Amino acid sequence: MKPTVLLLALVLAAPAWAQAPEQKPAPQEAAKPPAKEATKTAAKRHRRWHEDARHCLELPTNTEIIKCAEVYL
| Domain presence at residue 29 | no
Query: What does pLDDT average to over the chain?
Result: 75
| Domain coverage including residue 66 | 46-73
| Domain presence at residue 72 | yes
| Domain presence at residue 32 | no
Q: How many domains does the chain have?
A: 1
Average pLDDT over residues 65-72: 89
Decide if pLDDT at 46 tops 80.
no
Please answer whether residues 65 and 57 qualify as being in contact, where contact means their C-beta atoms are separated by less than 8 angstroms.
yes
What single DSSP character describes residue 34?
Answer: P
CA nearest 56: which of 44, 73, 43, 40?
73
Q: Would you state the pLDDT for residue 59?
A: 94
pTM summary value: 0.36
pLDDT-derived band of residue 58, with 50, 70 and 90 as boundaries?
A: very high
| Domain presence at residue 9 | no
Q: Would you state the pLDDT for residue 65?
A: 92
